[in-house]
Structure 1
Amino acid sequence: MSAGLAVRAERLRTERTPFVLATVVRTERPTSAKTGDRALVLADGTLEGFVGGTCAASTVRAQAMRLLESGESTLLRITPGPEEPGGEGLVTVSNPCLSGGTLDLFLEAVLPPALIQVFGDGPVAGALAGVGAAAGYDVRPAGDCAAPVLADAAAVVVATHGRDEEPPLTAALRAGIPYVGLIASRARGAAVTAGIEGAERVRTPAGLDIGARTAPEIALSVVAEIVSLRPRPAPARDGVRHETARHECG
């Protein structure tokens, strides 16, 4: 990868911007792309880098859009004619406007880890940072309950133990955060959420019932519940997919 493209990819990761990294892994001449050529494809269809001419680039762009939805990665073969099955995990696209060669590319979906925002600075909040990170989440401690709820959070957990719990819960519900949890007993949780609109969406006591007692165990139960409730995209069909490109080159 060129230095400029590598810097751009790292910036996208830092900014939590999803993209697909396309790498040419094999070519059959004649092709304008060479093995090792790479490009980044963003969610708006922008392609940065080089993986072939207009015909190849448009096919890569179309397949990348699908991968950004599924979160999967795949091997893509672009050929001007029909292709025999080559194995599981291969997507074959027939693009008759190619110059006559065949391209094999690895398309890697690079998605930001789901974000968990934790309000509070006690033992449970601290344990959530460690357990969540170990499970692959991006855990952001909010600390102050007056801090704004992050709009792209997958989960908001309030673990302030009785201090200013309503504001972050209300803000998370209004923002449509998929998982909103409150660390509290069942009785206290019901009392805290009684006057909050949409209180039925608040998970309290937060976490799966695993008999948790210590702060790390409670954190584990909460992360397990977040995992159990996360949306799961429909995977692509197993095996080889044969498709015909619907675009044409001018």
Structure 2
Amino acid sequence: MSGHTIDGWDVIDQAAELSRRGQEFALATVVWRQGPSSGQQGSRAIVTADGQLYGWIGGACAEPVVIREAQEVIRDRQARLLLLGTAEQFGAAVPAGMAVVPIACQSEGALEVYIEPVIPMPHLMIVGRSPMAHTLRDLAQALGWHSELRDAPEFSAVDLSARSLVVVATQGHGDEDAVEQAVLAFPAFVGLVASRRRGEAVLGYLADRGVPQTQLDRVKVPVGLDLGHTSHREIAVAVLAELVQLRASGALVPEAGAPPAAPPQALDPVCGMTVPADKAHHPAEHDGHTYHFCCVGCRDAFTGDPGKYLSAELVHHTHNRES
């Protein structure tokens, strides 16, 4: 976990830069606070999939919770509204859909934080120069996608990233070379506009040339939904329809670019917070077990009287509050 303090609209600038680079992240915004809390209404922070935080959302108690929850938002791509504190601090009732996450450090403040996933628009690389290829580029751009068109001799693997979607529409003008360059980059998707017979011939030739079968198996041919008898330009609609369908289903995930698994978590036996089980969260040994704490105060309270916090009843109670 690493924090980078940037203020105000600088967070939005950072978000734009991450989007430009095709990186998924979560945007956390404080929408309500109850003092004393270091978070302010309107404070924003960006959290990346690997737990980097840019901006300011609150102090030592709030920050690890927001990072943990934001990483889950990135993984499941579902926004969530959190109340960091207790239900009693919010008022008579907690609105449906809000998750209450207990924090119980020295401060008695509370925060309501909205965390939303930010998923960059796809990068679509179309290789070819036919009218269908131009139509596909224009349709994708109308959706706001980052869409590029390259003629086969100008195309290479360096034009791609792990998040790129590649459609080879060279129509017999260098199909083999274009597909080989595409699979070398391990993009999220490779499709070939060709008949099934022509596609089998292209992939068979590349296999004979030594391209690994595991890479060739990722090439979709023919690419595009079956819309029946279509014109050449209408094939672009079928191709884009399939890409939209795959994106909506979450299937266009980079082979090596899925968000990392959440780090190991531990329950602070003093306040009941869930914290990362790492060296930064004040580890303490007792009876052969390592416990982690949200702050030095909780660790000191525990080491002063471990039995007070390790009774079965209290451990069961704090576990239920977290779950």
TM-score (norm. length: structure 2): 0.66
Partner residue, 1:217: 234
Higher helix fraction (1 or 2): 2
Q: Does 1:180 align with 2:190?
A: yes
How far apart in 1 are the matches of 2:168 and 2:103? 52
- In structure 2, what residue type is equivalent to 1:220? V
Partner residue, 1:18: 24
Residues 131-140 or 78-87, more deviating: 78-87
Q: Higher relative contact order by CA 8 Å / sep ≥ 6: 1 or 2?
A: 1
Partner residue, 2:74: 68
Per-residue CA distance 1:154-200 (angstroms, 9 max, x = gap): 42111111111112212333443343211123333333332123344
Give, in angstroms, the shift of residue 37 of structure 1.
1.2
Q: Does 1:55 align with 2:61?
A: yes
Residues 35-44 or 3-12, more deviating: 3-12
Partner residue, 1:238: none
Q: How does 1:1-250 map to 2 (within 5 A)?
A: 2-80=8-86, 85-88=94-97, 90-97=98-105, 99-149=107-157, 150-197=160-207, 198=213, 199-230=216-247, 232=250, 245-247=273-275, 248-250=294-296
Residues 6 and 225 of structure 1: CA distance in aligned 2, closer, same or farther (over 3 Å): closer
How far apart in 1 are the matches of 2:229 and 2:104? 60
How far apart in 2 are the matches of 1:134 and 1:93? 41
- In structure 2, what residue type is equivalent to 1:210? L
How far apart in 2 are the matches of 1:67 and 1:17? 14
Percent identical among aligned pairs is: 32
How far apart in 1 are the matches of 2:12 and 2:187? 32
Give, in angstroms, the shift of residue 62 of structure 1.
0.9
How far apart in 1 are the matches of 2:187 and 2:45? 33
Per-residue CA distance 1:1-21 (angstroms, 9 max, x = gap): 724333222222222222221
Structure 2 spans left out of the alignment, 5+ residues: 1-6, 208-212, 252-266, 276-293, 297-323
Residues 5 and 155 of structure 1: CA distance in aligned 2, closer, same or farther (over 3 Å): closer
TM-score (norm. length: structure 1): 0.84
Superposed CA RMSD: 2.6
- In structure 2, what residue type is equivalent to 1:57? E
8 Å CA contact retained: 2:82, 2:99 = yes
Q: SS state of the match for residue 206, structure 1?
A: coil
How many pairs are equivalent? 240
